[in-house]
Structure 1
Amino acid sequence: MPIDLYYMPMSAPCRSVMLTAKAVGVDLNLKLLDLTAGEHMKPEFVAINPQHCIPTLVDGDLKLWESRAICTYLASKYGKDDSLYPSDPKTRALVDRLLYFDMDRLYFRFGEYVYPVMFFGQEKLDPAKLEKLHEALGWLDGFLAGHDWAVGNSVTVADFVLVASVSTFEVSGIDLSKHRNVTAWLARCKNGLRGYHEANTPGVNDIGKMAKAKLAGK
């Protein structure tokens, strides 16, 4: 049976799932939902996901949302080994820590900074919120010190989740240059992650165009 993914390309969480699927060799049946048109509120989708959020995965009788849970599920079920989501408790804990860090600090602070202007009519960006985002990026820079990937020298699902976020920051005009480990890691992701340009780049380009239009001069 096909594995359905309800998604929007501009969504970083959706792109993290698409990157994970590329890594494990799963072909997703992509079902585009236009949130701006309210398609996520249609009864047929709410019947699948009562929280009516994306991404939402349907794999047989499993209906799953929350992007990081979807990424770890795909890696656990379809990965050829446990390298993407290690079974070793200590290594897995480090991966999980970064997944929660992205959700609760890194991507969250980006949203707090740009989304009020991009989507909710706020006139000006708040410099204090930009400082908080750079604080989180500084923490990520420290986490990346001394190794090639997010956790050690092997790619894990943490890289897919984090790169979907950080690449979004980059095209939205966030200056990453002072976070040298972040910029070096981002370049490795762009050049070294399987399916990066197919799964991530189109959506990143779309959100970049929107950010340029909405955030310029703010």
Structure 2
Amino acid sequence: MLKLYHNPISGNSRRVWIALLEKEIPFEEIVVKLDGDQLTPEFLEISPFHHIPVLVDDDFTLVESLAILDYLETEYSQNPLLPTEAKALATVRMVEMVTVNELSPILTRLSSEMMGFTKEPQKLEQAKQKAHTVLKFFESLLGERPYFSSNCLTRADIVAGTIVPWLPSLGLPLDNYPKLSAWIERLVQRETWQKTQPSQEALEAFIPQWETLMKAYLPQ
């Protein structure tokens, strides 16, 4: 059986977690506490960069969430999460890469400012402006469809959907993005989103670990 090493608070982990559930693939869930578990010799053997998630399939070990999603889509064909039509597939890839390369660092900056770990108004404003560029792009990509690139859920929705819904709680309201707001409502009603949504208790318990992680990963 597949083994998923992850932490429920991690957006990177959650996208793999949701994909496994959406594709109905049996797996064993192994929670890695980010207060030092990720630095143990045992964990470094399977994740030399001490990152989560990690997926182990018998003797094959994968790191990096997008690579894991590729593997799941190819190795486990049920309930596909990638379209086959060229434009739809390209749209999925665009959304994935924009989320990872542009939006994820912004989320880190907003989180750090919200929790008081950094106080850099200029960088905060730059991050918000960049976020609005991404949100306008996503709003235009959605068009009149319920999901990105398709009438059905794809990986684009999973990857972006583990980041975008957090933005209002970090001081970035989505009032000017009605299509994105409606898209979020559709996502959070799905059983897989509800099952993987971190509880308030889990979020509060994670706060003491967040400052250390921010010092290591916050974009300069």
The alignment's TM-score, normalised by the length of structure 2, stands at 0.83
Q: Identify the residue that residue 188 of structure 1 maps to in structure 2.
A: 186
Aligned-pair CA distance for 1:197: 0.5
Alignment partner of 1:75 out of 73, 76, 79: 73
Comparing 172-181 and 144-153, the one that deviates more? 172-181
Q: Which has the higher contact order (CA 8 A, sep 6+)?
A: 1
Q: Distance in 1 between matches of 2:181 and 2:205?
A: 21
Q: Identify the residue that residue 217 of structure 2 maps to in structure 1.
A: none
Q: Identify the residue that residue 36 of structure 2 maps to in structure 1.
A: 38
Is the contact between residue 114 and residue 170 of structure 2 (CA under 8 Å) also seen in structure 1?
no
Query: Does residue 202 in structure 1 map to residue 198 in structure 2?
Result: yes
Unaligned runs of at least 5 residues, structure 1 = none
Over the matched positions of the two proteins, sequence identity in percent amounts to 25
- Structure 1 residues 127 and 206, CA, compared in 2 at 3 Å: closer, same or farther? farther
Alignment partner of 2:157 out of 153, 159, 162: 159
Q: Distance in 2 between matches of 1:209 and 1:43?
A: 24
Q: Identify the residue that residue 177 of structure 2 maps to in structure 1.
A: 179
Residues matched between the structures, number: 206
Is the contact between residue 171 and residue 204 of structure 1 (CA under 8 Å) also seen in structure 2?
no
Is the contact between residue 23 and residue 78 of structure 2 (CA under 8 Å) also seen in structure 1?
yes
Unaligned runs of at least 5 residues, structure 2 = 211-220
The alignment's TM-score, normalised by the length of structure 1, stands at 0.83
Q: Distance in 1 between matches of 2:201 and 2:185?
A: 16
Q: Identify the residue that residue 56 of structure 2 maps to in structure 1.
A: 58
- Structure 1 residues 123 and 187, CA, compared in 2 at 3 Å: closer, same or farther? same
Aligned alpha-carbon RMSD (Å): 2.5
Aligned-pair CA distance for 1:97: 1.4
- Structure 1 residues 122 and 104, CA, compared in 2 at 3 Å: closer, same or farther? same
The residue type equivalent to 2:148 in the other structure is A
- Structure 1 residues 209 and 60, CA, compared in 2 at 3 Å: closer, same or farther? closer
Aligned-pair CA distance for 1:152: 2.2
The residue type equivalent to 1:182 in the other structure is L
Comparing 169-178 and 100-109, the one that deviates more? 169-178
